[in-house]
Amino acid sequence: MTNGTPARPAAAQASAGDLLHLVRSGRATTRGALQRVTGLSRATVGQRLDRLFRAGWLREGAGTPVSSPLGGRPSVRLEFDDAHAVVLAADLETRHARTALLTLTGEVVAERGGALRVEDGPERVLDRLGAVFGELLRESGRDAAAVCGIGLAVPGPVDSATGRVVQPPIMPGWDGYDIRGRLRRAFLDHAGHTGHAGPFAHAGAAAPVPVLVDNDANLMAYAEQRAHYPDCSAFALVKVSTGIGAGVVVDGSLYRGIDGGAGDIGHIRVPGVPGSAAALCKCGSYGCLAAVASGRAVAARLAAAGVPAASGSDVRELLAAGHPEAVGLAREAGRQVGEVLATVVTLLNPGVLMIAGDLAGTPFLTGVRELLYQRALPRSTAHLEIVTSRLGGRAGLVGAGALVVEHLYAPERVEERLAALGV
């Protein structure tokens, strides 16, 4: 899926879904503009817009009318109606989870955060997420029937076609598990059955709420690029927390690889690391980047030196307090990550490289810059911005919500849903 602007649709191909996409993207926001872009007649545009109005997905804006370039009476602006449904999202980390209720345009309506250990397994974790979803709905005064989809970010590689994690090193018991089905059941168990026709009603019954699952770094990259760097055609985000992973957005679309394994840079072997137990990675190999430069690795070094630390979040707190040993180790971890990123930057040639996660502070970023600029060719970094996260802890949630919305309101899916609604 993509948030880029598609080629101009031919008149015979410009469906109601295409018109909705043009309005949502801002490319055409009046009836006249839709006619010009698609080549459809005024009557045909009106008929297709009427279907979107009846579904409750489009509205006429209450703001200032849009002046016509040809003169005459100003046109009424068309807007995507983000009030007709809501999205539930969760960002699952190794020891913590965030959940939120969002509008269709990504505004957070209600949010929760708390301890939740991924190693407790999918049954317990997903049931708890379902319970929190129910609490968020009650807290916000929303009905379960208003939920059009659920998005979940997880700290492991995901096959997007099935929504199942594939051999995740730090998610024991999750490999191949039916996350979509279990989370949907947990949502229904805890949010309750209202008996009302929701956004997926058809033939007098409600269709199953869709659940989409993706890697956390992917969804963070998707959210950050869309929100703050929409014109960047090659965007990379590296999350350094308990583990290390990367998300890549090319031309507005997530790049996942063949089966969701793209961006798993935490398991690239770092040159010169001795094959000791200290460099044993969760994947079973020695010398992986995650084993020597992640938040977990830095925490282990601090603990060995007598500093209480067990996770990336503990390291983050020490860095915020200016702990000298934590600062030194974070900078060294940044240098090790920077060495690997020199290859990544040479391969992808991104315009923006974003560092996110528990270690994404000044010491770590300084280390990344030192090695990256030293190792990469000047040509690869001439137009590169190295930045830190702008959405912060909400990036995964916003990305999960956006994934659901882009899936549901893609032009071809709009046609399917309108037909199911009978409009």
Q: Residue 417: how many CB atoms within 10 A of its CB?
A: 19
Nearest 5°: the CA angle 363, 245, 296 is 60
200 within domain boundaries: yes
What pLDDT shows up at residue 87?
97
Residues 254 and 355 both lie in one domain: yes
Q: What is the dihedral of CA 159, 161, 163, 168, to 10 degrees?
A: -10
Average pLDDT by consecutive 10-residue portion of the chain (423 residues)? Answer: 46 84 95 95 96 96 58 78 96 95 95 95 97 96 94 95 92 96 95 53 57 97 97 97 95 93 92 66 89 94 94 93 96 96 96 96 96 93 96 96 96 93 90
| DSSP element (H, E) containing 219 | helix 216-228
Residue where the block lists tokens 């006429």: 60
Token pair belonging to 279: 């460099």
- SS3 of 90-156: the string is EEECCCEEEEEEECCCCCEEEEEEEECCHHHCHHHHHHHHHHHHHHHHHHHCCCHHHEEEEEEEECC
63 within domain boundaries: yes
Residues 163 and 245 both lie in one domain: no
142 within domain boundaries: yes
Residues 164 and 236 both lie in one domain: no
DSSP state of 163: T
* Domain count along the chain: 3
1 within domain boundaries: no
Phi-psi map region of 57: left, alpha, beta (phi>0 left; psi -120 to 50 alpha): alpha
- State which residues form the domain around 242: 227-392
| DSSP strands (E only) in 309-372 | 352-356
- Among the three residues 34, 60, 80, which one is the final residue of a domain in this structure? 80
Query: For position 258, which CATH number holds?
Result: 3.30.420.40
4 within domain boundaries: no
CA distance linking residue 337 with residue 327, whole number of Å? 15
Residues 270 and 381 both lie in one domain: yes
